[in-house]
Structures are given as C-alpha cells and as structure tokens.
Amino acid sequence: MTGSDEVSVDGAVAAEESPRRGAGSRVLGWLRELAIVAVIALVLSFLIKMFVFQSFWIPSGSMESTLAVGDRILVSVWRPGPLDVRHGDIVVFSDPGGWLDSGAAEEESTPVWREALTFVGLLPQDEGTHLVKRVIGLPGDEVKCCDNNGQVTVNGFPLDEPYLGPGIEPSRREFTTVVPEGHVWVMGDNRPASGDSRSHRGNPGGGSIPIDSIVGTAFAVAWPLGNATTLSNPFTDVTIPPASAGTSQE
C-alpha cells in the first residue's frame, strides 16, 4: 500500500467518526434541554402549590353530594391569606387535633418518589392529615340549630342551604355555640355522615377550628372529567347579620 493510499484510508475513517461525534453531541444537547425543561416545570409546579393553589382528593362521603369520593379538587391558598374566609366557603384544613382516627392501623409507608411528587405539587396532597368541610360560622358568630323551621341560624339569620341533598336535614342534633376569635365553625354537606364541628364540641375551641389550620378554599373539581365543575359560594349574595356584642359561649 502506498503512502497516498494510507492517507486516503485515514481520511475516510476520520470522515466516518465525525458524524457519530456530532450525533452524540446532539443527543447530549437534547438531554440537557430536557433536564432544564423538567427542572423549570418542577420549580413552577412548586411555586404554584406554594402561592396559588394545591390539589387534594376526597376520601369520604362527608361532603356529598357537592363532592364525591375520589374527586380531585383545586384549593386556592389565597383564602385565608390575602382574602378572608367567608360563610359558605368549602375549606381544606389540617387536623386541629382528634378529628381523624389516630387509632387506625398503620398504613404502608409512602414511597419516596410519591412524597417528592406531592411536595412539588404534581400529585394531590396526602388526604390522611387533612379534612374538607363548609364554613358555617365566622369568629364571633352565634351558630344555632335549629329554629322553628328546622334551619341552622347564624346570629339569628336562618340559612337556606341549597347544597344539602334531598332528605338531608340541616342537623339532627341541637346545639348553640359562639365561634371563638381566630376560629370558624364547619359542617359537612352530608350532615348525617359528617364528623364536623358538632362532633368535637369537647375539643379546644368548642368544635370550631383555628383559621391558621386552613390550607385554602376549594374553587373547582378538576377530576374525574365527568365531575369537573367550579365550586361557587351560595352565600355570596346573602347578607348575614354581624355577630351581636352580647352573645356568649354556651
């Protein structure tokens, strides 16, 4: 083989290796771009969870028929916060103590990957430490059941509760309470199946929950698609009189 032939062969080999290196560089570049996009998506998801809304899923029937078991709801973290909680809001709150069954059998540990995805907001929040109910009484309100028409009253004002399903009574147990400052009185829409403020009157706060325990206010059902809907507040256009200065806790 002549010297010129050797140069020709070396040149051919070099020409074959160059496209391979180029393809490898393109793959690495694509992987870097994919990693950057993934990191940006995770950061945005985390920021949305922290400052805009979170997602939760409904594990029980205590809010039927407004919320069904398995519904995924979106919860605005702006209320409470920049915005005040209102009568009629559906709120998600952490267990203020003694509301959830502490004697239940221990569940299998949550996989690390699931905890990570939940932390950044890509999976619904763990329902095991949170509850969802509707706000009936605000700080200072006198909440009572029931008047002569069988309705729950707030500061003497009878509530028309359109979210109660057919045959659901406002409450089968009588009670009168004044909501402490910094707390709200909550009840489930499925009153007979809801362990709400009425069931915890012996707890600190007399059954009312601290506003500080509220994660946010539900504003939509996002999943399943067949149940997707916005969650409006039925009391937005209702004027409930303010609490009387003379009311006292019973």
Rounded (5°) CA angle 134-182-234: 25
Q: What pLDDT score does 71 carry?
A: 94
Catalytic residues: 62, 133
**Average pLDDT score over residue span 150-163:** 97
**Average pLDDT score over residue span 181-197:** 97
Instruction: Tell me whether residue 96 is exposed, middle or buried, using C-beta atoms within 10 angstroms of its C-beta: 0 to 12, 13 to 18, 19 or more.
Output: buried
113 or 191, greater pLDDT: 191
User: What number of CA atoms fall less than 13 Å from residue 147's CA on the CB side?
Assistant: 13
Q: What pLDDT score does 29 carry?
A: 78
Q: What is the dihedral of CA 61, 65, 66, 69, to 10 degrees?
A: 30
CA distance linking residue 194 with residue 61, whole number of Å: 8
Q: Are 56 and 72 in contact (CB under 8 A)?
A: yes
- CATH of span 55-230: 2.10.109.10
Calculate what percentage of the chain has a pLDDT beyond 70. 73
Element (H, E) at 75: strand 72-76
User: For 88-119, how does the pLDDT look when each residue is reduced to its tens digit (9 = 90+)?
Assistant: 999 999 999 889 874 443 444 556 645 555 55
Domains in the chain: boundaries: 1-51, 55-230
44 or 234, greater pLDDT: 234
DSSP class per residue in 109-134:
PPPHHHHHHHHHTSSPBPGGGEEEEE
Number of continuous H segments (helices) and E segments (strands) in the chain: 2, 12
Calculate what percentage of the chain has a pLDDT beyond 90. 58
Mean per-residue pLDDT of the chain: 82
29 or 216, greater pLDDT: 216
Residue 159 gets which letter from DSSP?
P
**CA-closest candidate to residue 197, choices 209, 189, 210, 183:** 209
Is this structure's pTM higher than 0.85?
no
Q: What pLDDT score does 120 carry?
A: 47
pLDDT at residue 4 tops 50: no
The beta-carbon contacts of 97-104 under 8 Å, at least 24 apart in sequence, are 97/203, 97/204, 98/200, 98/203, 99/131, 99/195, 99/200, 100/128, 100/129, 100/131
User: For 36-75, how does the pLDDT look when each residue is reduced to its tens digit (9 = 90+)?
Assistant: 877 776 666 555 556 667 889 898 999 999 999 999 999 9
Q: What is the dihedral of CA 110, 228, 217, 59, to 10 degrees?
A: -40
